[in-house]
Amino acid sequence: MTKKEKRLKRKKRERIWVSAAFASVIISLSGITFLHSDYAAFSSNITTGDNLVKTDQFSQANLFYNNIKTLFPIQQIIVGDRLKNLTLQQKSHNNYLQALANFNDKNFSQEVAYLGLVGKDSMDYTNAQLDMLDAKKIQSEEDAVYQKFQDLLSKAGKEDRNNQLSLAQKDYSLAYQIASGDPVLGKDLLTLNTLKDTLSSLKTAIQKNNEFLQALRNPTSSNYTLNVPILMYHYIRVVTDPNDVLGYGLSVTPSDFEAQMNYIATHGYTTITMMDLMNALQNKTALPPKPIILTFDDGYIDFYTNAWPVLQKYNLKATSFIITNYINQSRYMTWDMVKELSSSGLITFGSHTVDHPDLRTLTSSQLTAEVEQSKQMIESQIGKSVTDFSYPYGDFNSQVENTIIQAGYIDAVTTQYSDVHPASNHYLIPRVRIPGGLSLSSFIYRISP
DSSP 276-344: HHHHHHHH-----SSEEEEEEEE-BHHIIIIIHHHHHHHT--EEEEE-GGGTTSTTB--HHHHHHHHHT
The yes-or-no verdict on residue 73 having pLDDT over 90 is: no
pLDDT band at 66 (very low <50, low <70, confident <90, very high): confident
Rg (CA), the chain: 41
The residue that leads in pLDDT, 66 or 239, is: 239
For position 124, what pLDDT does the model report? 53
For position 32, what pLDDT does the model report? 42
The yes-or-no verdict on residue 268 having pLDDT over 90 is: yes
For position 230, what pLDDT does the model report? 98
Taking the C-alpha atoms of residue 49 and residue 54, their distance in angstroms, rounded to an integer, is 9
Average pLDDT over residues 47-62: 77
Which of 69-78, 116-125, 167-176, 312-321 is most confident?
A: 312-321
pLDDT band at 28 (very low <50, low <70, confident <90, very high): very low
The residue that leads in pLDDT, 249 or 201, is: 249
419: CB partners within 8 A, 6+ apart: 227, 228, 229, 230, 430, 432, 447
Q: 71-80, 349-358, 419-428 — which is least confidently predicted?
A: 71-80
The yes-or-no verdict on residue 390 having pLDDT over 90 is: yes
38: CB partners within 8 A, 6+ apart: 69, 71
The yes-or-no verdict on residue 25 having pLDDT over 60 is: no
pLDDT band at 389 (very low <50, low <70, confident <90, very high): very high
For position 30, what pLDDT does the model report? 41
Which of 32-41, 247-256, 305-314, 392-401 is most confident?
A: 305-314
For domain 226-447, which architecture applies?
Alpha-Beta Barrel (3.20)
The yes-or-no verdict on residue 212 having pLDDT over 80 is: no
Q: 124-138, 323-337, 375-389 — which is least confidently predicted?
A: 124-138
For position 116, what pLDDT does the model report? 53
For position 213, what pLDDT does the model report? 44
For position 374, what pLDDT does the model report? 97
Name the percent of the chain lying above pLDDT 90: 44
Q: 82-96, 112-126, 382-396 — which is least confidently predicted?
A: 112-126
The residue that leads in pLDDT, 117 or 46, is: 46
The yes-or-no verdict on residue 388 having pLDDT over 80 is: yes
pLDDT band at 92 (very low <50, low <70, confident <90, very high): low
The residue that leads in pLDDT, 424 or 39, is: 424
Asked whether 350 and 386 are in contact (CB, 8 A), the reply is: yes
Residue from 366, 355, 433 nearest 400 by CA: 366
The residue that leads in pLDDT, 26 or 345, is: 345
Taking the C-alpha atoms of residue 180 and residue 199, their distance in angstroms, rounded to an integer, is 14
The yes-or-no verdict on residue 443 having pLDDT over 90 is: yes
For position 430, what pLDDT does the model report? 95
For position 170, what pLDDT does the model report? 85
Mean pLDDT rounded to a whole number for the chain: 80
Average pLDDT over residues 349-359: 96
- Per-domain residue ranges of the chain: 226-447
For position 133, what pLDDT does the model report? 62
Instruction: State pLDDT tens for residues 272-331.
Output: 999 999 988 888 889 999 999 999 999 999 999 999 999 999 999 999 999 999 999 999
The residue that leads in pLDDT, 65 or 311, is: 311
Taking the C-alpha atoms of residue 262 and residue 420, their distance in angstroms, rounded to an integer, is 24
The yes-or-no verdict on residue 120 having pLDDT over 60 is: no
For position 314, what pLDDT does the model report? 98
Average pLDDT over residues 399-427: 92
pLDDT band at 63 (very low <50, low <70, confident <90, very high): confident
The yes-or-no verdict on residue 97 having pLDDT over 80 is: no
Each as own residue / partner, the long-range contacts of residues 112-121 (CB below 8 Å, 24 or more positions apart, any chain) are 112/138, 112/139, 112/142, 112/184, 119/92, 120/96
For position 168, what pLDDT does the model report? 82
Helix (H) or strand (E) holding 137: helix 125-161
Taking the C-alpha atoms of residue 329 and residue 347, their distance in angstroms, rounded to an integer, is 21
Q: Return phi, psi of residue 135, to 5°.
A: -65, -45
